[in-house]
Amino acid sequence: MRIGICPGSFDPVTNGHIDIFERGSQLVDKLIVAVFENPSKKPLFSMAEREEMLRETTKHIPNIEVVSFHGLLNQYAIEHGATIIIRGLRALSDFEYEFQRALLMKKVEPRIETVFIMTSTQYSYISSTGIRELACFGGKLDDMVPDYVEKKLKEKFADKYNA
Protein backbone atom coordinates (compact mmCIF):
# COMPACT_ATOMS: atom_id res chain seq x y z
CA MET A 1 0.00 0.00 0.00
CA ARG A 2 1.38 3.40 -1.01
CA ILE A 3 0.87 5.91 1.83
CA GLY A 4 1.46 9.64 1.49
CA ILE A 5 1.35 12.50 3.95
CA CYS A 6 0.28 16.04 3.25
CA PRO A 7 1.43 18.02 6.31
CA GLY A 8 0.55 21.58 7.24
CA SER A 9 -0.86 23.87 9.86
CA PHE A 10 -4.09 24.39 7.85
CA ASP A 11 -5.12 27.44 9.89
CA PRO A 12 -7.61 27.47 8.24
CA VAL A 13 -7.95 24.97 5.42
CA THR A 14 -8.57 26.72 2.09
CA ASN A 15 -9.95 25.67 -1.27
CA GLY A 16 -6.33 25.57 -2.44
CA HIS A 17 -5.57 22.93 0.19
CA ILE A 18 -8.64 20.92 -0.82
CA ASP A 19 -7.47 21.04 -4.45
CA ILE A 20 -4.09 19.61 -3.43
CA PHE A 21 -5.74 16.90 -1.29
CA GLU A 22 -8.05 15.84 -4.12
CA ARG A 23 -5.22 15.61 -6.62
CA GLY A 24 -2.67 14.18 -4.20
CA SER A 25 -5.09 11.47 -3.06
CA GLN A 26 -5.03 10.08 -6.62
CA LEU A 27 -1.29 9.39 -6.33
CA VAL A 28 -1.50 7.16 -3.26
CA ASP A 29 -3.69 4.45 -1.77
CA LYS A 30 -4.00 6.42 1.47
CA LEU A 31 -3.34 10.11 2.07
CA ILE A 32 -2.76 11.24 5.62
CA VAL A 33 -3.56 14.92 6.04
CA ALA A 34 -1.43 15.74 9.05
CA VAL A 35 -2.06 18.87 11.09
CA PHE A 36 1.05 19.91 12.92
CA GLU A 37 1.78 22.59 15.41
CA ASN A 38 4.17 25.23 14.14
CA PRO A 39 5.91 26.67 17.21
CA SER A 40 6.70 29.90 15.33
CA LYS A 41 3.01 30.67 14.68
CA LYS A 42 0.13 31.59 16.95
CA PRO A 43 -2.84 29.75 15.45
CA LEU A 44 -6.34 31.16 15.15
CA PHE A 45 -7.90 27.70 15.49
CA SER A 46 -6.92 24.98 17.95
CA MET A 47 -5.52 21.68 16.69
CA ALA A 48 -8.87 20.02 17.43
CA GLU A 49 -10.77 22.70 15.49
CA ARG A 50 -8.44 22.38 12.50
CA GLU A 51 -8.77 18.59 12.53
CA GLU A 52 -12.55 18.88 12.67
CA MET A 53 -12.64 21.37 9.77
CA LEU A 54 -10.39 19.10 7.72
CA ARG A 55 -12.52 16.03 8.42
CA GLU A 56 -15.66 17.90 7.43
CA THR A 57 -14.21 19.40 4.24
CA THR A 58 -12.45 16.24 3.01
CA LYS A 59 -15.17 13.67 3.69
CA HIS A 60 -15.83 13.46 -0.07
CA ILE A 61 -12.31 12.05 -0.59
CA PRO A 62 -12.50 8.36 0.36
CA ASN A 63 -8.82 7.59 0.96
CA ILE A 64 -8.00 10.48 3.32
CA GLU A 65 -7.26 10.17 7.01
CA VAL A 66 -6.95 13.37 9.09
CA VAL A 67 -4.58 13.32 12.06
CA SER A 68 -2.55 15.72 14.14
CA PHE A 69 0.96 15.19 15.35
CA HIS A 70 3.81 16.79 17.24
CA GLY A 71 7.44 16.17 16.50
CA LEU A 72 9.46 15.34 13.42
CA LEU A 73 7.65 14.62 10.17
CA ASN A 74 10.17 12.00 9.05
CA GLN A 75 9.67 9.99 12.25
CA TYR A 76 5.89 10.22 11.97
CA ALA A 77 6.01 9.15 8.32
CA ILE A 78 8.15 6.08 8.95
CA GLU A 79 6.08 5.05 11.98
CA HIS A 80 2.94 5.14 9.81
CA GLY A 81 4.39 3.52 6.71
CA ALA A 82 4.39 6.66 4.57
CA THR A 83 7.04 7.03 1.89
CA ILE A 84 5.71 10.09 0.08
CA ILE A 85 5.36 13.67 1.33
CA ILE A 86 2.98 15.76 -0.77
CA ARG A 87 3.52 19.51 -0.81
CA GLY A 88 1.41 22.11 -2.56
CA LEU A 89 3.09 25.02 -4.31
CA ARG A 90 1.56 28.37 -5.21
CA ALA A 91 4.55 30.41 -6.34
CA LEU A 92 8.28 30.32 -6.92
CA SER A 93 8.86 31.53 -3.36
CA ASP A 94 7.01 28.43 -2.07
CA PHE A 95 9.26 26.23 -4.19
CA GLU A 96 12.49 27.63 -2.76
CA TYR A 97 11.33 27.03 0.81
CA GLU A 98 9.84 23.59 0.10
CA PHE A 99 12.83 22.52 -1.99
CA GLN A 100 15.16 23.13 0.95
CA ARG A 101 12.82 21.19 3.24
CA ALA A 102 12.68 18.31 0.75
CA LEU A 103 16.47 18.14 0.55
CA LEU A 104 16.73 18.11 4.34
CA MET A 105 14.08 15.36 4.53
CA LYS A 106 16.01 13.31 1.94
CA LYS A 107 19.18 13.70 4.02
CA VAL A 108 17.58 12.55 7.29
CA GLU A 109 15.30 9.91 5.73
CA PRO A 110 16.35 8.64 2.29
CA ARG A 111 13.31 6.31 2.05
CA ILE A 112 10.92 9.29 1.79
CA GLU A 113 10.26 11.10 -1.49
CA THR A 114 8.73 14.57 -1.70
CA VAL A 115 6.21 15.25 -4.46
CA PHE A 116 5.31 18.84 -5.37
CA ILE A 117 1.88 19.63 -6.77
CA MET A 118 1.28 23.03 -8.31
CA THR A 119 -1.96 24.58 -7.15
CA SER A 120 -4.68 25.19 -9.69
CA THR A 121 -4.48 28.72 -11.08
CA GLN A 122 -7.77 29.80 -9.50
CA TYR A 123 -6.28 29.22 -6.02
CA SER A 124 -2.74 30.52 -6.54
CA TYR A 125 -3.35 33.75 -4.61
CA ILE A 126 -4.99 32.10 -1.58
CA SER A 127 -3.08 31.63 1.66
CA SER A 128 -4.28 30.81 5.15
CA THR A 129 -2.64 34.03 6.38
CA GLY A 130 -4.55 36.09 3.81
CA ILE A 131 -7.81 34.34 4.70
CA ARG A 132 -7.31 35.05 8.42
CA GLU A 133 -6.67 38.73 7.65
CA LEU A 134 -9.75 39.00 5.44
CA ALA A 135 -11.93 37.31 8.04
CA CYS A 136 -10.52 39.44 10.86
CA PHE A 137 -11.83 42.54 9.11
CA GLY A 138 -15.12 41.03 7.96
CA GLY A 139 -14.07 40.58 4.33
CA LYS A 140 -15.72 38.40 1.71
CA LEU A 141 -14.45 34.84 1.62
CA ASP A 142 -16.38 33.69 -1.46
CA ASP A 143 -14.76 30.76 -3.31
CA MET A 144 -11.61 30.88 -1.16
CA VAL A 145 -12.56 28.48 1.63
CA PRO A 146 -15.10 25.67 1.92
CA ASP A 147 -18.53 26.80 3.18
CA TYR A 148 -17.99 25.02 6.50
CA VAL A 149 -14.71 26.87 7.08
CA GLU A 150 -16.33 30.18 6.15
CA LYS A 151 -18.98 29.51 8.80
CA LYS A 152 -16.28 28.77 11.41
CA LEU A 153 -14.35 31.93 10.49
CA LYS A 154 -17.50 34.03 10.75
CA GLU A 155 -18.15 32.53 14.20
CA LYS A 156 -14.61 33.46 15.30
CA PHE A 157 -15.05 37.00 14.06
CA ALA A 158 -18.79 37.37 14.73
CA ASP A 159 -18.37 41.00 15.82
CA LYS A 160 -16.99 41.88 12.35
CA TYR A 161 -19.71 40.08 10.39
CA ASN A 162 -22.65 41.13 12.55
CA ALA A 163 -21.76 44.81 12.71
Residue 123 is assigned to a ligand binding site:
yes
Does the annotation mark 120 as catalytic?
no
Residue 120 is assigned to a ligand binding site:
no
Residue 101 is assigned to a ligand binding site:
no
Tell me the chain's radius of gyration from C-alpha atoms: 16
Q: Beta partners for 65?
A: 32
Residue 9 is assigned to a ligand binding site:
yes
Residue tagged active-site, from 17, 25, 50, 152: 17
Residue tagged active-site, from 23, 30, 80, 90: 90
As to burial, measured by CB atoms within 10 angstroms (0-12 exposed, 13-18 middle, 19+ buried), residue 128 is: buried
Does the annotation mark 60 as catalytic?
no
Does the annotation mark 17 as catalytic?
yes
3-state secondary structure of 2: coil
Does the annotation mark 93 as catalytic?
no
Q: Beta partners for 33?
A: 6, 66
Q: Which residues make up each annotated binding site for ATP? A: 9-10, 17, 88-90, 98, 123-129
* Residues marked as catalytic: 17, 41, 90, 128
